[in-house]
Amino acid sequence: MIRTLLGIVLGLVAAGLAIFGVESLGHWLHPIPADIDWQDRVAVTALVESLPTQALLIVLAAWAAGALVGGFVAGSVSALHKRGAALTVGFVVLVMVVINIAMIPHPMWMAAAGVLVPLPFAWLGGRWAL
């Protein structure tokens, strides 16, 4: 039980680091204007609409990578509930993706893909940990 909880916590940390790393690459390739007002929904919507598809795919890849890496770490650390720990990390990543989609307007295809990506990738990470 303790190793499962530790696995979930470490998996969440690993997921966050993976998401940060991939999104940092995206921000390096497609810099966000420094003067964007994140409280202005119209400005944020215009920004997202102006981004190339590649930039949005990088964000989607970050969510997938986070779930995959987090699921792998959680499954590797957990002794008894490897798949459950991995899927728990995937579920938390899914919740964070939904919050992100609610806060920042995304194209419909990206929102749909973002909701579908975390659990299968976390499951795959947990499977690799077996």
Residue 109 is encoded by which pair of tokens?
């295809």
Distance in angstroms (rounded) separating the CA atoms of residues 52 and 111:
16
Q: Based on C-alpha coordinates, what's the Rg of the chain?
A: 16
Tens of pLDDT, residue by residue over 93-110, are 999 999 999 998 899 999
Cβ-contact 75, 7 below 8 angstroms: yes
A 10 A CB-CB count for 23 gives: 18
What is the distance between the alpha carbons of residues 53 and 74, in angstroms, rounded to a whole number? 31
DSSP annotation of 33 reads P
Of all residues in the chain, the percent with pLDDT exceeding 70 is 100
40-70 pLDDT per residue, tens: 888 888 888 889 999 999 999 999 999 999 9
Note the maximum CA span of the chain: 49
Q: Is the pLDDT score of 72 beyond 90?
A: yes
Planar angle of CA 66, 50, 69, nearest 5 degrees? 5
> pLDDT-derived band of residue 83, with 50, 70 and 90 as boundaries?
very high
Distance CA 122, CA 128 (A): 10
pTM, full prediction = 0.91
